[in-house]
A = this chain, B = another copy of it.
Amino acid sequence: MKIRSALISISDKKEINNLLKVLSKYKIKLISSGGTFKKIKSLGYSCFEVSNYTNFPEILDGRVKTLHPKIHSGILFKRNKKSHKKILKKLNFEGIDLVITNFYPFQKTIDTTKVHEKIIENIDIGGPTLVRSAAKNYNDVVVITKISQYKKLINELNTYNGGTSLKFRLRMSREAFGETASYDAKIYNYFNSISNQSIPNKFIFEADLLEKLRYGENPHQTGAIYSNKESLKLTKLQGKDLSYNNYNDIFACLNLGKTLPKNKGTIIVKHANPSGVSMQTNHLRSYLSALNCDPISAFGGIVACNYKLNLQVAKEISKNYYEVIIANGFDKKVFKLFKTKKNLRLVDSSNFKLKNNQKILSGLNSLLMQSSDNFFFSKNNFKTVSKIKPSKKLMDQVIFSFNVCRSAKSNAIVITQDFKTLGIGSGQPSRIDSCKIAIEKMKKFNQFNYNEPLVAASDAFFPFIDGIEKLVQAGVTTIVQPYGSIRDKEIIKFADDMGIILIFSKTRHFNH
């Protein structure tokens, strides 16, 4: 079945010339309006104007053009149904076998203006209706909604001598409904945002495939990464494709790295948990401190530097096996160094910015949504409750400890000294076990100084004294934890009796 006539109504007129050439080759009658009509004529093709075709003027500044029964009957009638053909003949209506449309650029408009009137004017009514009519009737009609589909259409027309296959029409129909759904999702989400609906009654998430991943968390699971931004603002400069687990670890790294003071943090992550973190203006020391916290766990992990990676640090990094190195830029010499390690991924995160996004986690038949937990800590988030008060420098160390603790899976206990982690206990059902793990790691791998402050952070309050007691016995002299236990008073008294500093945070930071 050959295509006899096409309705073209496009907002973005790129690459239309090639397509018109092929439509003309197969003598397909063109119908169009407004800017598209002018464009087609200017390219030298003959074309019917919609208003002449329907015998109805284009009115309301273009708000009503194609919303006409002659157009929609021509699209929607079933070509194999006698009664449909009969009524079309009676009304002297013709079939429209091809619809080529892209919509008013709603997303682009909200990206470039805050003028609500202008945004509303960019809600396309006619376009989506044409597309939905054609997509519904894919059995007889082709619908083209993206410039990237032009080549495929040309290919079909050439293969089927001016016709198309049902398979192709079905695929175009499927993609068309993807376009109309995501177009309206964007409008809906815009309306939600101007109405401050952070938890709307209906949640619609639309995103484009960025990359099909080799597999999910495990080889028997499929995996993919989607985004409704054009890119993640992460640039892979070298190495194998990133895996699902790489991405998961990278997000854990950046969530922490981008909340540390700039240009001095090194983070090593394994299985979505930090295995070592350090913050030093000397980058070599920063990296080595992060590594030495738990060099065994670091093996096969990923390293994130919130500074530009130089050759000296890179040489040190290259002595260990990592899957990914993330940095805010790389010195040129670093690429030479890693040239032979072809599998190693180098990822530039300079342009990456942390946003307050919604956190989404699928449950069973459902989806848990929450606001993100990546605000920047300041001393106002904390209150010293012990008699002894921390110095300003110590308070900075407390904030560092607590920040690392927030990024570890709950229950989490983190012991630090001088802006480097000594022991990280994570992912335990019991808080006291996390204390034990942190203490054991501190003693096993690290050199530290009992005469300098040893700071421990807990992501939630201690329900009993036992955990704190263990930490103090191990040499910890400053503890930061959220308040909220019915034993808070008892715990403050214990801290004062022991002569340690106890600081309560205003916020809890479970992270599962």
Binding site for B on A (CB under 8 A): 56-57, 59-61, 63-64, 67-69, 71-73, 76-78, 83-84, 87, 91, 120, 123, 125, 128-129, 132-133, 135-136, 139, 170-171, 173-175, 177-185, 187-188, 191-192, 195, 197-210, 212, 215-227, 229, 232-233, 244-245, 247-248, 250-251, 254-255, 270-273, 275, 294, 296-298, 300-301, 352, 354-355, 357-373, 409-411, 426-430, 432-433, 437, 463, 507-512
Expressed in whole angstroms, the Cα–Cα distance for A329 and B510 within the complex equals 31
A133 to B123, alpha carbons, bound, how many Å? 9
Residue from the list B60, B201, B297, B368 in contact with A433, Cβ < 8 A: B297
Selected from B132, B195, B223, the residue in CB contact (under 8 A) with A123 is: B132
Q: Would you call the interface of chain A mostly helix, strand, loop, or mixed? A: mixed
28 contacts between A and B (CB under 8 A): A59-B91, A60-B76, A120-B139, A123-B136, A174-B192, A174-B195, A174-B197, A175-B202, A178-B204, A181-B181, A181-B188, A185-B185, A199-B222, A201-B209, A205-B205, A210-B366, A221-B359, A221-B370, A223-B368, A225-B366, A229-B365, A244-B370, A245-B512, A271-B512, A297-B429, A298-B429, A355-B365, A409-B427
Set of chain B residues within 8 Å of A411, measured between Cβ atoms: 271
Name the residue on B nearest A59 (C-beta). B87
Instruction: Verify B184–A177 contact, CB threshold 8 A.
Output: yes
Residue of B nearest to A216 (CB): B370
Question: CA A183 – CA B510 in complex, angstroms?
Answer: 36
Across the interface, which residues of B come within 8 angstroms of A294, CB to CB?
429-430
A273 & B427 in contact (Cβ 8 Å cutoff):
yes
On whether A202 and B209 interact (CB within 8 A), knowing A251-B364, A370-B223, the answer reads: yes
Cα-based distance from A272 to B57 in the complex (angstroms): 63
- Report B-chain residues with C-beta under 8 Å of the C-beta of A61: 83-84
Instruction: Give the complex CA separation of A57 and B73 in angstroms.
Output: 11
A132, closest chain B residue (CB): B125
Docked CA distance A212–B77 (Å): 45
B60 adjacent to A67 (CB under 8 Å): no
Number of copies of this kind of chain in the complex:
2
Q: Could you tell me the distance between the alpha carbons of A371 and B170 in the complex, rounded to whole angstroms?
A: 25
**In the complex the two chains form, what is the Cα distance from A297 to B430 in whole Å?**
5
Q: Known contacts A178-B201, A221-B370, A271-B428; can you find 17 more A-B pairs with CB under 8 A?
A: A64-B73, A120-B136, A174-B192, A174-B197, A177-B188, A178-B200, A179-B202, A181-B206, A205-B206, A221-B371, A221-B372, A225-B369, A226-B367, A271-B512, A273-B428, A294-B429, A354-B364
Minimal beta-carbon separation of A79 from chain B (angstroms): 12
Contact check, A178 vs B171: say whether CB atoms are below 8 A apart: no
**Is there contact, CB below 8 Å, between A222 and B182?**
no
CB neighbours (8 Å) of A63 from chain B are: 72-73, 76-77
Q: Which residue of B lies closest to A373 (CB)?
A: B221
Asked whether B430 lies within 8 Å of A232 as measured between CB atoms, the reply is: no
Q: What is the bound-complex CA distance between A203 and B222, given in angstroms?
A: 14
